Amino acid sequence: PLVYLNGAMMPLSEARISVLDRGFIFGDGIYEVTPVYRRRLFRPEQHLARFMRGMRAIDLQNPHDEAGWLGLMQQVVDAAPTEDQLLYMQITRGVARRTHAFPAQTPAPTVFLMSNPLLPPPPSVHEHGVACVTMEDKRWLRCEIKSISLLGNVLAAQNAAEQDANETIQFRDGYLTEGSASNVWIVKDGALISPPRDNLILEGIRYSLMEALCAEQNIPFAARRIARNEVFHADEVLLTSASREVMPVVTIDGERVGNGKPGPIYRKLYAAYQRAKVA
Ligand code: PLP
């Protein structure tokens, strides 16, 4: 497959960066993952807005305007072999002598885009739901930034993998934050509830979308702190992300969620999401 690196399209096997890249040395950069359906980027403006917000948050000079980025994104999508894709893009503070603070002379950022086939979750996920485990959230306090420094998320994902679970649901000081790479939602008495948009979670692009789908489906929605026991006593628990779409959780740490089957609010929101994808 062809990827984009610093101004040129090239085969993935030929893409090279310096070992002094601050992304490699410090994890000094941000990234974005955008789903693509039938070669059309899904909600690209929202993904790009979050990407640009991330650059401002870490004082990284943005080398392109919105139209420039959208052009690059579509170029990589058009060069990929499959219709449905997950587009990955990353920008780092570039190459400089190793010292923690920003280089005195701002280097050119390293810009990398690649697209991989998007495989939607298999039907069994929707019929039977998935198992999750839990862990204390040990990440830093700027989780709203989609940083490439993902060690906390990597360890949380590995924790799930080792227990044959789909995802690790994280809690900080007794309150729900999010998954290793997904937002987590609970359903209680017919209402969808999520942790607030703040520095303790990454606001998924599906966050606002779920809010809108709730309004469309007449499902009450609330954003507020959610205590650990509320998650274990929820009627339903859902995960969302670019790749998971909307996913039903049926067990947490081996305990059944609700009646242990994907629930009615999940079914409504999943169907509404599928419609939004092709709208
Ligand atoms: N939270 C974290 C930590 C993530 O890595 C992701 C995305 O993979 C999400 C939430 C969900 O974000 P989105 O809906 O934009 O995929």
Whether ligand 1 lies within 6 angstroms of the CB of 242 is answered as yes
Residue 69: per-residue pLDDT:
98
Q: Does 1 have pLDDT greater than 90?
A: no
Give the mean model confidence (pLDDT) for residues 28-52: 98
CATH number, domain at 6? Answer: 3.30.470.10
d(CA 182, CA 220): 21
Same-domain pairing of 105 and 220: no
146, 188, 261, 277: which is the annotated catalytic residue? Answer: 146
Same-domain pairing of 86 and 223: no
What ipTM score was computed for the predicted complex, to two decimals? 0.99
Whether ligand 1 lies within 6 angstroms of the CB of 168 is answered as no
Give the phi and the psi of residue 17 in degrees, each rounded to 5.
-130, 165
Whether ligand 1 lies within 6 angstroms of the CB of 203 is answered as no
Decide which of 70, 90, 117 is a domain's last residue. 117
| CA torsion through residues 245, 251, 252, 256, sign | positive
CA angle 132, 137, 138 (to 5 degrees): 135
Q: Does 244 have pLDDT greater than 90?
A: yes
Mean pLDDT of the chain: 98
CATH number, domain at 264? Answer: 3.20.10.10
Tell me the percentage of the chain whose pLDDT exceeds 90: 99
Position in ligand 1 atom list of the atom nearest CA 205: 15
d(CA 222, CA 226): 11
For residue 139, the CA-to-ligand 1 centroid distance in Å is 15
Residue 21: per-residue pLDDT:
98
Cβ within 8 Å of residue 80, ≥6 positions away: 1, 2, 115, 116, 117
**What is the C-alpha radius of gyration for the chain, rounded to an integer number of angstroms?**
19
Whether ligand 1 lies within 6 angstroms of the CB of 183 is answered as yes
* DSSP single-letter state for residue 147: B
pLDDT digit string (tens) for 245-270? Answer: 999 999 999 999 999 999 999 999 99
For residue 105, the CA-to-ligand 1 centroid distance in Å is 33
Residue 259: per-residue pLDDT:
96
Whether ligand 1 lies within 6 angstroms of the CB of 205 is answered as yes
Decide which of 89, 117, 145 is a domain's last residue. 117
Q: Domain of 17?
A: 2-117
Cβ within 8 Å of residue 267, ≥6 positions away: none
The H or E element containing residue 52 is helix 44-57
For residue 104, the CA-to-ligand 1 centroid distance in Å is 33
Domain count, the chain: 2
- For this structure, is 277 an active site residue? no
Same-domain pairing of 146 and 252: yes
Decide which of 68, 96, 117 is a domain's last residue. 117
Residue 215: per-residue pLDDT:
98
Q: Does 54 have pLDDT greater than 90?
A: yes
Count of residues in the chain: 279
Tell me the percentage of the chain whose pLDDT exceeds 70: 100
pLDDT digit string (tens) for 109-151? Answer: 999 999 999 998 999 999 999 999 999 999 999 999 999 999 9
The H or E element containing residue 223 is strand 221-223
Residue 91: per-residue pLDDT:
99
d(CA 54, CA 30): 7
* DSSP single-letter state for residue 198: S
Mutation test residue for ligand 1: of 42, 169, 241, 247, the one with most atoms within 8 Å of CB: 241
3-state secondary structure of 64: coil
